[in-house]
Chain A
Amino acid sequence: MAAYRTHMKIIGEILETTQEDLQDGNGASVTYLIRKANISHSRISGILSTLVSQGLLEQTAGGGANKYKISQSGREFLRAYYAFTRFADSFGLSI
């Protein structure tokens, strides 16, 4: 049985996806994020608006659709996420 992903892990995967080299320099589209992070549209909308309001993602309008790029705070958050994922893994837990 596959383990459920925690909310934190989903956020980590979304940020990771926006950090990857994208063909379009404006950022990742919602469709691309849905496909890469394997999450429903209704759920990702709420998460994206939270991440934008927290300053972890930057929203840009390009080609008639919203696109998302990782911000400097987002990169710092991702570094902390990697470090503390390893920390929690040592205890057999996931953050």
Chain B
Amino acid sequence: MQAAQRGRRPAPLTNGTRTIHQIEIISRRYLDIPLEFLLENILNLIGFLVGLGIGIMSLVGYKNTGSPTLFRLTVAFFSISAGFFVVWAGYTAEDLFLHAGDIEGWVQTLGIGIQTIGYFFIAFSHSIKSFFPKSAHFRAIIPLPLLLTSSVQLEHIFRSVSFIFLAYGAIETMLSYFENRNRGAASVAAGLGLLALGEFLGWYSFVFPESLLYPASMACRIGGLIALFIPVSRVPLTRVRFDR
């Protein structure tokens, strides 16, 4: 400070080698394990909020119009929101209060299971629209569970089933975009596609647990949730009231 005031350049604090070493320490201490933990928390909070936001909007729509499609979307997004909340609350409770050490796996499985119910309802809404047995797109991906559910663990099954539902929803939404050229549909299709990719990478990270696959999976899912919310945020909800 005094050197700067006198117009002299302050001496460098470290030489080059020491700076690189410090960066390694910082990245190990703050960016390796905490990065995953931070991303996990961000993902779960964004998932909870986005799911809740879209769920509330669908509920308002259902209350105003009585549309069964909006009811299915309400159930879907409240389930997705609840699933993310369960994982976030479970991890937070474990880290701050419980310290049991063996509940994280079950919390993750339960949360992903609840999210899978939500993804099922999104896919179900599309399957009703295009009549399930005649849908060539759904039939095209039916064999995938046989390839994906190689493990007996519930989490693997939920992740692979979620992937199927999300991929199906993304394909159907993209087809809808090609028909109507609605930009919102393109954004939702991209969001569902990113969520599907995230689920796939999350499932595949069991094979390479120390790799970047799991953080990449979380980044994909965060991007997917944001893409889902973009068109929904443009709906002029302020002009719509609940029925009395």
* Interface of chain A, main secondary structure: helix
Query: Are B173 and A80 touching (Cβ within 8 A)?
Result: no
CA distance A14 to B198 in the complex (A): 44
A90 and B70 contact, Cβ closer than 8 Å, known pairs A77-B65, A80-B240: no
Residues in A64-95 with C-beta less than 8 Å from chain B: 76-77, 79-81, 83-84, 86-95
CA distance A94 to B70 in the complex (A): 9
Q: B67, B185, B232: which contacts A8 (Cβ < 8 A)?
A: B67
CA distance A35 to B122 in the complex (A): 35
Query: Are A92 and B69 touching (Cβ within 8 A)?
Result: no
The answer to whether the Cβ of B237 comes within 8 Å of any Cβ in the partner chain is yes
Q: A86, A92, A95: which contacts B65 (Cβ < 8 A)?
A: A95
Q: A76, A81, A86, A95: which contacts B69 (Cβ < 8 A)?
A: A95
Interface size class of B (residues with CB under 8 A): 35 or more
Q: A84, A86, A89: which contacts B70 (Cβ < 8 A)?
A: A84
Query: Are A91 and B122 touching (Cβ within 8 A)?
Result: yes
Query: Are B185 and A90 touching (Cβ within 8 A)?
Result: yes
A84 and B67 contact, Cβ closer than 8 Å, known pairs A90-B182, A91-B185: yes
Q: B65, B122, B180, B241: which contacts A84 (Cβ < 8 A)?
A: B65
Residues of A within 8 A of B67 (CB): 6, 8, 84, 88, 95
Query: Are A79 and B239 touching (Cβ within 8 A)?
Result: yes
CA distance A88 to B60 in the complex (A): 13
- Interface residues of A, Cβ cutoff 8 Å to B: 6, 8, 76-77, 79-81, 83-84, 86-95
- Interface residues of B, Cβ cutoff 8 Å to A: 57-58, 61, 64-67, 69-70, 73, 122, 125-126, 129, 172-177, 180, 182, 184-185, 187-189, 231-232, 235-237, 239-241
Q: Lowest 10 A-B CB distances belong to which pairs?
A: A92-B176, A90-B184, A92-B173, A80-B64, A84-B61, A95-B67, A90-B231, A87-B235, A80-B240, A95-B69
